[in-house]
A = this chain, B = another copy of it.
Amino acid sequence: MLLEPDRLFPVEPSSRSLARALYESIADLPIVSPHGHCDPSWFAKNERFPNPADLFVIPDHYVFRMLVSQGVPMADLGVPRVDGGETEKDPHKIWSLFAKYFYLLRGTPSSLWLEHSFQEVFGFDEPLTENSAQAYYDHIDAKLATPEFLPRALFDSFGIEALATTEGALDDLKWHKMIKDSGWSGNVITTYRPDTVVDPDAAGFADNVRAFCELTGEDPNDWEGYLNAHRKRRAFFKSMGATASDHGHPSAVTADLPKPEAAGLFAKVMSGDFTAQEAEQFRGQMLTEMARMSLDDGLVLQIHPGSRRNHSDPVAAQFGRDKGFDIPGRTDYVAALKPMLDAVGMEPNLTIILFTLDETSYSRELAPLAGAYPALRLGPPWWFFDSYEGIKRFREQATETAGFYNTVGFNDDTRAFCSIPARHDVARRSDCAYLATLVGTGRLRESEAFEVAHDLTYRLVKEAYRL
């Protein structure tokens, strides 16, 4: 066995036993994955995953960052370069490096997720080491060649009830269309992610906006035309199953300018001649605009602020976007969200889901805000905080002020397909551990804990994301 059956439960026997009972009551519930980055072409084409390195190493930034941090060159791990430089092509060599340095992941959630996949998806019961690397590779590779390991088959065997992917505002959603047309029963939906046409600092912003308006027959020189283009694309995404939009911004700043000012700001950022503060304000204005559109079309608004993208200039130059070390930074919510919340925060039919990479905001800002405004809900711990300790801190710091019912269940937020059941399992166990501790210290009744466990696993995510 790679995994302890009672992992993540409290060690004290009576709490452990209750945590196990809570977990058993929800372990088999379907997976609802309302936010993630799987590639829809997997399910559209349903071709086999090419090899173990492509499945487990190359796309997993948790894995390659840890190896790089200890001196393994990123190119040796097969991460594609954008500068034309050489990168390792042999999946055996990549796998072998991964196996050699697998011990670096000790104590991280990645080791739990990977061993969950190894044991539960591929049936391993011995650890991955340099010695077992070859056998691991061969076994996984052989499995990937079988029908049971094609994307759709895995989707079904993972027990996924719904899976949302994320596409840019200019995407034609052809894979989603192909999935819908295929007759396959899997519920794979898209999410509207308009960052490239909303963020004046995005590469090619003005060109993106012109293409965006052309696509929708709107005037790119007109603020109302631009907003209409969003309305039309949102409608198109909704027709492909989207129930939410998602916004990755450097900060949580929002704005609610009078229309003429907003129109003037739009003209400014389109001209290319704008300050950093104007870019910030435009992004902020667009969050409020998106919230207003949500009131009309019912899409849920997700805000993911606080990542400092591409921290390393040399790495970004060699490996491109999303590979250049995105690092969290301090994020303020209280003053930042006020303009949007003054505009729409009291709307009972609007759902805005806030995420954070700054855990200091849980108890000081996010829980008090979500514990007051009807439109706000708290997203689950995100990215580096999607972990046992991260979930524990979230629950301990948010629950006493926001309760359970201003949270929205779990997001796996992953592009590592096989980790989906692993991540949901870690979240379910971590929540059950927390609930068992509440019961053990007299803060919740046992009967309530079973109900809350079900809510956190299934009901809240379905309701919040309107799935």
Known: A71-B374, A387-B400, A442-B3. A329 touches B325 (CB 8 A): no
Which residues of A (345-394) have their CB < 8 Å from a CB of B?
345-346, 348, 357-360, 363-365, 367-374, 376, 384-385, 387-390
Chain B positions within 8 Å of A112 at CB level:
443
Known: A346-B312, A368-B328. A441 touches B388 (CB 8 A): yes
- Chain A 166-210, CB within 8 Å of chain B: the 1/0 string? 000000000000000000000000000000000000000000000
Most B C-beta atoms less than 10 A away, residue of A11, A127, A360, A397: A11
Which residues of A (301-344) have their CB < 8 Å from a CB of B?
308, 311-315, 325, 327-330, 332, 334-335, 338, 341-342
Assess whether A281 is interfacial by the CB under 8 Å rule: no
Closest Cβ–Cβ distance, residue A66 to chain B (whole Å): 6
Chain B positions within 8 Å of A359 at CB level:
360, 363-364
User: When the two chains form their complex, are residues A405 and B70 in contact, meaning their CB atoms are under 8 A apart?
Assistant: yes
User: When the two chains form their complex, are residues B104 and A403 in contact, meaning their CB atoms are under 8 A apart?
Assistant: yes
Chain B positions within 8 Å of A440 at CB level:
11
Known: A8-B442, A69-B373, A357-B364. A313 touches B334 (CB 8 A): no
Chain B positions within 8 Å of A371 at CB level:
65-66, 69
Chain B positions within 8 Å of A71 at CB level:
348, 374
Chain B positions within 8 Å of A334 at CB level:
308, 311, 327-329
* Minimal Cβ-Cβ distance residue in B for A430: B441
Most B C-beta atoms less than 10 A away, residue of A345, A363, A367: A363
Q: In whole angstroms, what is the CA distance A345 to B71 when docked?
A: 11
Chain B positions within 8 Å of A111 at CB level:
443
User: When the two chains form their complex, are residues A364 and B358 in contact, meaning their CB atoms are under 8 A apart?
Assistant: yes
Assess whether A108 is interfacial by the CB under 8 Å rule: yes
* Minimal Cβ-Cβ distance residue in B for A15: B11
User: When the two chains form their complex, are residues B384 and A367 in contact, meaning their CB atoms are under 8 A apart?
Assistant: yes
Q: In whole angstroms, what is the CA distance A315 to B342 when docked?
A: 9
Known: A311-B341, A384-B400; 15 extra A-B contacts, CB below 8 A, are A4-B442, A7-B441, A10-B11, A69-B372, A69-B402, A71-B374, A107-B400, A108-B399, A312-B373, A328-B368, A329-B335, A330-B360, A358-B360, A388-B400, A389-B400
Q: List 16 A-B contacts (CB under 8 A).
A: A4-B442, A11-B437, A66-B403, A69-B372, A69-B374, A69-B402, A70-B374, A71-B374, A107-B443, A108-B403, A315-B346, A327-B368, A327-B369, A330-B360, A363-B384, A388-B441
